[in-house]
Homo-oligomer: A and B are copies of this chain.
Amino acid sequence: MGGNLKQVAREAGVSLATASRVLSGSSYPVSAELRERVVEVAARLDYVPNAQARALITGNARTVGVLVGQVGDHYFDALVDGVRRVAAEESCLVTVVSTDRDPERELASFRQLQSHGASIIIVAGSGLDDEEYRVGLAARVASFSQTGRVVLLGRHELDAGVPAVRVEADNHGAGHALGAHLRRLGHTRVGVLSGSGVVTSTVDRVRGVADGLGRAPTVVQVPQTRDGGYAGMSQLLALDADLTAVVATADQMAIGALAYCRDHGLAVPTDMSVAGCNDIWVARDLTPSLTTVHIPLEEMGGAALRLALAEENGGLKRQFFPVQLVVRESTGPSPDA
């Protein structure tokens, strides 16, 4: 299993130190002759430096860990894409680990990333509203921030004392915009398809809808998927057959709701208005195209990493992203009006 630095040094007839200095890009002066010899031998032997050994000494592995709630969920995928885009520029390695919305797994995964020498950990996970979990996470963050930086992405349940960079979207504002939009259209009986009720971003959106609408909507909690939305639509109508509008806390669920309407002869938006949240790319290509709220998820992901990298020099500690209502064809005036 060839190819370590010692072999290169021996083959090139130089000391370990010299070889290291050449190949690690050190500023220490090495004569042109030796330098060239080392480079040549390294190429010939296909020397690949061992980043683990290097990190053991320098402490910095240029590695970013990202904790997400669920793989395959567009919300997290978009955030991660943003992180990766920046990571590529900075030639950082990104390790994503999914916690499947399990608090215990999230803590364990955090530990695992910490163990593997990540220098930045971005927590985009579930953001659970659970006391024990909160304490555990705070402890992990405190422990890790001695050696690296933590970014809390799209969540805010930890109090300000916790040493972390924060990147957040205006989730309440997103819900509020949708609620107000429906109110302007004359809707009073509104349903909400909500993802898990302990995830802070979801909770904020639901509250926002209520506030924007000026009254309490009917809420059901369902899996945050297309099929969850489909099933939830049926639950909502069972709870209140006179609903004229539905808001989903994520576009996938809204798409499920649209499918339900189509399958059950409900015209959208004539009989039923449907709106989503996040503005996934396909929202504009549906029929009817989906009213939703654009949330700059990719930008947020990118910002998360950038802030963490910049913070070395004491940069910005918090960034808040505004959202924007995108009105399309799936919402219209209430038939009651």
Contact = CB atoms under 8 A, between A and B. Distances in A.
A96 B94 contact: yes
Interface stretch (A110-118, A162-170, A195-203): A110-118
Given A1-B146, A51-B116, A139-B46, A84 B63 contact: no
Contact of A81 (B71, B91, B117): B71
Interface stretch (A33-41, A53-61, A240-248, A269-277): A53-61
A15 interface: no
B85 A112 contact: no
Contacts of A93: 95, 97, 112-113, 116
A116 B56 CA distance: 12
B281 A48 contact: no
A286 interface: yes
A111 to B, nearest CB: 6
Interface in A1-58: 1-3, 46, 48-53, 55-56
Contacts of A51: 112, 115-117
Interface residues of A, number: 52
A306 interface: no
Interface in A259-301: 259, 262, 281-282, 284-287
Contacts of A111: 48
A226 B282 CA distance: 9
A115 B282 CA distance: 38
Given A147-B1, A285-B258, A96 B84 contact: yes
A104 interface: no
A228 to B, nearest CB: 12
B61 A52 contact: yes
A198 to B, nearest CB: 21
A98 interface: yes
Contacts of A121: none
B81 A100 contact: no
Interface in A299-332: none
A100 B85 CA distance: 10
A97 B94 contact: yes
A337 interface: no
A52 B48 contact: no
A149 to B, nearest CB: 14
Contacts of A139: 46
A160 interface: no
A152 interface: no
A285 B285 contact: no
Contacts of A281: 226
A296 to B, nearest CB: 14
Nearest to A227: B281
Contact of A226 (B77, B91, B285): B285
- Give the 9 A-B CB pairs with smallest separation, nearest first: A287-B287, A52-B52, A51-B115, A51-B116, A95-B95, A72-B81, A52-B117, A71-B81, A71-B84
26 contacts: A1-B147, A2-B146, A48-B111, A48-B115, A48-B143, A50-B56, A50-B115, A51-B116, A51-B117, A52-B56, A52-B116, A56-B56, A63-B116, A71-B84, A84-B98, A91-B112, A93-B95, A94-B96, A96-B96, A226-B281, A226-B282, A255-B285, A258-B285, A259-B284, A262-B287, A282-B282
